[in-house]
């Protein structure tokens, strides 16, 4: 439903309510209603549930529009009746009217009508539920794992999409357009819930369970969402984005994600950064292909350091636009706006450009390395980790020098 339509609907509703309400309350009521209406008209609302951008969200929208209308009308009738009765029969000292009891015809009618309305709503609701639960037409699978407070995505081997070795990423879910994608969700710690309103409803990610959620986007685009099951301190900072790319662009993305690790140039700042990374970061963060000084592969051990047992894989960090649970931008404001405001046909190209040195949001990334828990609340204070046996929830403060931070940023910029 577009904004103007919603606007006029509400206006007429406001008008009808105003007719009933007494004169002296009119202004007050008018102000209240007008601000409600205004609140519904936000321009920049990427998580608007009334704007489906794919078939699954459309199924929900086709259900919620008529149900909303029916519920709205009934709600209005009830509210008006109550307000009317309150004012009409207010205790003004009049004698209590004659009391009667029971009116079978009326009672039966008033039971049957709501039952019928609910039955009709139920039929369509069940229809929608079953349509949304279908999995036998799935074309592509992505594993989604929730943990405090970010989402991990891994793509099992699927040769039809050029995925012949597993891909792993975080924060931004990249998927091909017009493809029936099935998310297999679970969690590493507490219950989370995955929700991209423009593409489908919510599905809880529950430890010990695998639950599925269909996603399909009609056109290339960026769709925002956030965790919708309270999951602790930084629940509000556990966001995610789905990026739908044309099939050709998606193939490019897949190829890039599988590209072999390129070590930074000799004697560059980035190479010094790699050394700092091996010292400070590899105990939590995996960078596939990264070798230790002795030539053995550097295998991260987040299970020994982080309560959930995982930290984001940084192999292709700069191919994403956000970090830390999609809460902060890796792109500067200007470059970010260029991606988000690009027409659908150009989004793929802009997104695949990744993060260049010029476009990097230096302030937030440096801030993160300087003191991550100061930017995003996390249980990362070593003195308060008795309950988790010393393991962090989130990324701790690492007391890095500004020098080391510059080296690390130079290194991270090579992880494209």
Partner 1 sequence: MFSTGFKYFIGVTVLSVVALVMSLFVLDQLAIAGVALSMLIGSTALLAGIAVVTRDGQTKTSSPELSKDLTTQSIWPLVTSVGVVLLALGLVISSLVFFSGVIVLLAALAEWMVKSWSERSSKDSGYNSSARKRLLNPIEFPVLAALGLGVVIYSFSRVMLAVDKSTGALLFIGLGSVVLIAGILFVLKPNMKRSVVVAICAFGAVGIFVAGIISASTGLREDLVIAKSESHEHPECGPERSKHFDKLAEGNLSLRSSVDATIELVDGKLSARIVGFNKPQNSVTIRRSTPTNLIFHNLDAKEYRLVANLGDLASTEPEGKTEKNLVCTQLTAQGAEQALVLKIDKPATVGTPYLLSVPGLEGQSIELVVP
Instruction: Give the footprint of ligand HEC on this chain (CB under 6 A).
Output: 149-150, 170-171, 280-281, 283-285, 305-306, 311-312, 314, 317, 323-325, 369, 376, 392, 394-396, 398, 400, 408
> For residue 285, what are its two tokens?
């963060």
Contact flag: residue 143 with partner 1 (CB under 8 A): yes
Least distance (Å) from Cu ion to the CB of residue 192? 3
Piece of the chain touching partner 1 by CB under 8 A; list 102-110, 165-173, 255-263, 271-279: 165-173
Partner whose binding site includes residue 227, from partner 1, Cu ion, ligand HEC, none (CB under 5 to 8 Å by kind): Cu ion
Question: HSE of 321 in the Cβ direction (CA atoms, 13 Å)?
Answer: 27
Contact flag: residue 154 with partner 1 (CB under 8 A): yes
CB atoms within 10 A of CB 235: 18
- Within 106-135, the residues that bind partner 1 by CB under 8 A are 135
CB atoms within 10 A of CB 109: 10
Piece of the chain touching Cu ion by CB under 5 A; list 108-116, 184-192, 257-265, 275-283: 184-192
Binding Cu ion by CB under 5 A: which of 215, 217, 227, 287?
Answer: 227
Piece of the chain touching Cu ion by CB under 5 A; list 20-28, 219-227, 331-339, 363-371: 219-227
Which residue in this structure is represented by tokens 């046909």?
A: 345
**Which of 117/236 has CB closer to ligand HEC?**
236
Contact flag: residue 54 with partner 1 (CB under 8 A): no
Cis preceding-peptide flag for 31 (omega within 30 of 0): no
Three-state secondary structure call for residue 25: helix
Binding partner 1 by CB under 8 A: which of 17, 37, 70, 168?
Answer: 168
Q: Where are the alpha helices (DSSP H) in 89-134?
A: 104-133
**142 with 166: CB under 8 angstroms?**
no
How much helix, strand and coil, in percent to the nearest 5, is found in the chain? 45, 15, 40
Partner whose binding site includes residue 242, from Cu ion, partner 1, ligand HEC, none (CB under 5 to 8 Å by kind): none
Listed residue (242, 113, 252, 221) closest to 173, CA to CA: 242
**DSSP sequence for 380-406:** --GGG-TTTTT-BBSPPP----HHHHH
Contact flag: residue 216 with partner 1 (CB under 8 A): no
Binding partner 1 by CB under 8 A: which of 112, 115, 262, 299?
Answer: 299
Contact flag: residue 308 with partner 1 (CB under 8 A): yes
Contact flag: residue 152 with partner 1 (CB under 8 A): yes
Least distance (Å) from partner 1 to the CB of residue 199? 17
**Which of 7/209 has CB closer to partner 1?**
209
Those residues whose C-beta lies under 8 Å from the C-beta of residue 52, and which sit 6 or more positions away, are 58, 60, 61, 198, 199
């Amino acid at each position: 439903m577009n904004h103007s339509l919603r606007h006029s609907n509400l206006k007429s509703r406001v008008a009808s309510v105003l007719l009933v309400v007494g004169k002296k309350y009119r202004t007050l009521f008018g102000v209240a209603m007008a601000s409600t209406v205004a609140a519904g008209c936000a321009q920049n609302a990427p998580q608007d549930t009334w704007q489906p951008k794919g078939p699954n969200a459309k199924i929900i929208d086709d259900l919620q529009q008529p149900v909303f209308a029916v519920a709205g009308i009934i709600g209005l009738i009830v509210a008006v009746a109550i307000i009317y009765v309150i004012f009409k029969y207010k205790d003004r000292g009049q004698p209590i009217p004659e009391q009667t009891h029971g009116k079978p015809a009326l009672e039966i009618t008033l039971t049957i009508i709501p039952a019928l309305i609910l039955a009709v709503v139920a039929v369509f609701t069940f229809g929608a539920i079953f349509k949304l639960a279908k999995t036998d037409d799935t074309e592509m699978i992505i594993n989604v794992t929730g943990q405090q407070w970010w989402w991990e995505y891994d793509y099992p081997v699927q040769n039809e999409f050029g995925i012949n070795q597993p891909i792993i990423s975080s924060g931004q879910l990249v998927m091909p357009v017009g493809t029936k994608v099935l998310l297999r969700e679970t969690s590493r710690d507490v219950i989370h819930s995955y929700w991209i309103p423009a593409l489908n409803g919510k599905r809880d990610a529950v430890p010990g369970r695998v639950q599925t959620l269909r996603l399909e986007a009609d056109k290339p685009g960026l769709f925002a969402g956030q965790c919708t099951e309270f999951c602790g301190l930084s629940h509000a900072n556990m966001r995610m984005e789905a990026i739908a790319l044309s099939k050709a662009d998606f193939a490019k993305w897949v190829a890039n994600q599988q590209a072999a690790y390129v070590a930074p140039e000799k004697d560059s700042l980035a190479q010094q950064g790699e050394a700092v990374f091996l010292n400070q970061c590899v105990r939590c963060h995996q960078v596939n292909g990264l070798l230790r000084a002795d030539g053995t592969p550097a295998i991260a051990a987040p299970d020994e350091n982080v309560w959930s047992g995982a930290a984001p894989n940084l192999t292709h960090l700069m191919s994403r636009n956000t970090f830390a649970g999609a809460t902060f931008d890796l792109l500067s404001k200007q470059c970010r706006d260029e991606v988000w405001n690009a027409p659908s046909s150009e989004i793929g190209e802009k997104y695949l450009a990744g993060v260049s040195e010029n476009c990097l949001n230096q302030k937030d990334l440096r801030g993160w390395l300087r003191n991550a828990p100061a930017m995003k609340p996390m249980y990362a204070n070593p003195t308060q980790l008795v309950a988790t046996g010393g393991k962090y929830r989130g990324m701790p403060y690492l007391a890095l020098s500004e020098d080391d931070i510059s080296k690390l940023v130079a290194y991270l910029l090579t992880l494209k």
